[in-house]
Amino acid sequence: MARTMLAEPDGFNEVSKEEQIRYLQGLWDRIAERPGEIPVPESHMELAEQRLAEYRRDPGQARPAHDVLDRLGKRNR
């Protein structure tokens, strides 16, 4: 997805980072109200389809999500 430069709302740089994050979260919440309108790159769909097919071929190889998240968390330390 191409990066787009947007003009910041008036006063955005004058508020704290916490307030900026709260503002951005509010924007995302508005966008996420209609998830069917959020574009998904074709490469993401292809990867999801591949992984679903792999799971269906051999469900016993799947790992619980919390195990994967724990492993990822350790990698970022």
Integer Cα distance of 76 and 6 in angstroms: 30
| pLDDT score recorded for residue 75 | 78
pLDDT band at 5 (very low <50, low <70, confident <90, very high): confident
Judge whether 24 and 31 are in contact, CB under 8 Å: no
Question: Tell me: the pLDDT tens digits for 30-70?
Answer: 999 999 999 999 999 999 999 999 999 999 999 999 999 99
Secondary structure (DSSP) of 2-71: -----PPPTTGGGS-HHHHHHHHHHHHHHHHTSGGGS---HHHHHHHHHHHHHHHH-GGG---HHHHHHH
